[in-house]
Amino acid sequence: MFSHGQHNLRNEYISLTVDNLGRIDFTQPLLQRRSLWRVWMSLSKFQKNLIRLVILVVIVTVWLSISYSKSQPHKRKPVSFSGDTHSEEQPLQAPLREDPLHGESFDERSNQIGDTNLVEPNQLQEAAVNELENPGNEFFSGDTHSEEQPLQAPLREDPLHGESFDERSNQIGDMNLVEPNQLQEAAVNELENPGDIGSNSIKPIYFSKQTNARQRAVVDAFRHAWSAYKKYAWGQDMLKPLSKSAHKWFGLGLTIVDSLDTMWIMGLHDEFTEASGWVRDEFRPSLESSTADVNLFEATIRVLGGLLSAYHFSADDLFISKALDIGEALLPCFEKSPSGVPYSDVNLASHIPHAPRWSPDSSTAEVTTLQLEFRDLSRVTKLKKFEDASSRVSEIVHSLNKIDGLVPIYINPFSGKFKDNSEIKLGARGDSYYEYLLKQWIQTGKTKQFLIDDYLESVQGIQKHLVRRTPNRDLVFVGELGAGPREHKKFNPKMDHLVCFLPGTLALGYHHGMPESHMSLAHQLLDTCYYMYADQPTFLSPEIAYFNTEAGDIGSNSIKPIYFSKQTNARQRAVVDAFRHAWSAYKKYAWGQDMLKPLSKSAHKWFGLGLTIVDSLDTMWIMGLHDEFAEASGWVRDEFRPSLESSTADVNLFEATIRVLGGLLSAYHFSADDLFISKALDIGESIEKYCKTPSGYTAPKWETPSGYTSIGNVLDDRNVRPLDSMESFFLSETLKYLYLLLSDNRKLLDLDHYVLNSEAHPLPILSE
């Protein structure tokens, strides 16, 4: 799928010990002396605008004084502005928008202030149509804009609070080519129905098409997966690519809704139109016939987030309507909670929320990873109740006691309190709480101080309690505090793959004025996350990694090998032949597994520790079978990892949800360092090699596809154990991240104007 160099895989896995937190200095104060630029970046938009206004007033005052003194001798006649307040010398101009057909820019100013008379709407309409039919007139210019100084689209007002959205998801100049008649129709409709395109009068935002072969390869991967989903699972939540069937989870067409913005960004407008048709005709979460229990968190980040981002890009009111449907269906989780902390699940038919079947508690990460989406829903629907309900959760959590900003992973919706004896970690059930603290602060124009205060405290707590460094490879990882009373929580050197969200969050925070130490930690964690991939034979990371925290050299006793004499008679040689016969069959049919099933010529897994190999080592050595011993020793060296809990069902699982790609995207977006591209390519190639289902290798293009699948074992490149599951986030997250990372324009999606939710759906940043 991607063109890239060879991988330099390491046989050694991550082997760590604690050496008093290594070289990270956690004693320095959180907020250090910073440059003027970093101070500027930490200001809110209101503060920045106030400073700009003062400077502008001074400049205008000086300019007017000079102009007035020069004009006095000539006694110039005053100019009539027809009621406008802007000077003739410097008329206020609307921003230029690139013509998507010709790559030029045209002036949206149908009436330049102070320069033209007002005209009738029908004249504007006729002029717009003529303009599009006869390109090359005076409204077109050949100006181009560099990536470093993008032309910015206007702010649009937030309908709920009088604030303004930043429409600049994409800088002008990043539009797809569209047909002339589409441009004409859009222009006519806009002039005939001013303010009628979308409830907030927004316009579609188009992205440039693929600019290189690597991006086109990602688009081909998307089409391969999408075609398989259409053929075998259309309208269902997920595809099962091996059995070529569908998996129903919520009954909300997760793969369709979750993929909308990815299709739009990639310029796959035919596929987007097809998916939109399904949303229009079939997406009905409020139907009484629906009996599904849905998880509040998953439905919010995948479905609500997907619909909102599709609206912001396409300007189609259909998605507002459907977002409102799912928002109303999920709202009882908040409204019927005694404390305001939402229940984890809700039944779409009865509208009755409830805790998960296995516990009365909700996940802390889940209840604090809803606010970006519900706040945006309030903005586009003008219904304040969604933002109020979700923001109250953040306020409740803010008021609770924490361990240096770190939160237990469970919270009770009845009491509104943490389950204090639960674990503290940045993996499953804890991760996105920390991510959304920063992103909420950014989304709201940096106006909610308690959010950034909690974020800064939590990063300090992470550095103090959870960060460790290895003594041998000098890698930094983030561990966990185990279950138990606060004063007795023990450090556990376990790091979920999900923790790899943290480097991207830290890089984003640093861009917005957070301390330099945050970016340093981000780079170190990115290295560790990358090696979690590079150290595996498949170049794919397991879901869970345990780190060895014992220091010291192995084999420190300096003993010497003991050799045995070879076989001395035919009877011994017959025994050796019997061993070789059994060993050969085991190698052929059950290599790496616990035992061979000789009649069915298959393997039996008991502990997942390769029992036959380990149990036979001394026998091979005594018999003098040193070739077989060397082969078995190689497996022990590379694959025997009980400290990784390799006997656990999901520890070696790869579900193609690559949080590290989000970190690479943020780091590359703000630094322009091509090293991050190289790392993304390594991972992308491995996905193509091990996760693409077999028909993909033989079928022409994507005509008979069956998609991509999660795999059950990243530790054996000869037996990855495909799991028959293509998650919706493979299309919404993994391929979107790769596509954006591999663009020639690193700011194809400008992260100064969007925040990505936990499912990689872009939502606009609000200004004050």
Q: Tell me the binding residues for Ca(2+).
A: 758
Residue 584: enclosing H or E segment and its boundaries? helix 570-590
Return d(Cα 12, Cα 536) in angstroms, integer: 9
The β-bridge relationship of strands 96-98 and 766-767 is unpaired
Task: Give the span between the Cα atoms of 164 and 687, in whole angstroms.
Answer: 40
Taking CA atoms, 725 is separated from 61, 308, 503, 711, in Å, by 66, 26, 28, 9
CB 366 within 8 A of CB 431: no
Q: Cα angle vertex 696, ends 691, 700, to 5°?
A: 160
Residue 293: phi, psi to the nearest 5? -85, 130
Q: How many CA atoms lie within 13 A of 254 on its CB side?
A: 24
Q: At what angle do helices 516-534 and 659-671 cross, to 10 degrees?
A: 130
In this structure, are residues 647 and 713 in contact, taking their beta carbons and an 8 Å threshold? no
Read off the tokens for 187: 């222009």
With vertex at residue 734, the alpha carbon angle to CA 251 and CA 308, rounded to the nearest 5 degrees, is: 55
Give residue 52's identity as a one-letter amino acid code. Answer: R
- Could you list the residues known to form a binding site, using ranges: 758
Helix (H, G, I), strand (E, B) or coil at 751: coil
DSSP 548: -
Instruction: Tell me the residue type at 674.
Output: D
Cα→Cα distances 87→34, 64, 68, 125, 332, Å: 40, 11, 13, 28, 54
- Rounded CA gap, 84 and 194, in Å? 21
Q: Give the CA radius of gyration of the chain.
A: 30
* Cα three-residue angle 68-72-78, rounded to 5 degrees: 75
What share of residues in the chain are helix, strand, coil (percent, to 5)?
Answer: 45, 10, 45
Nearest to 372 by CA among 352, 390, 393: 390
Of 728, 611, 735, 576, residue with least CA distance to 229: 728
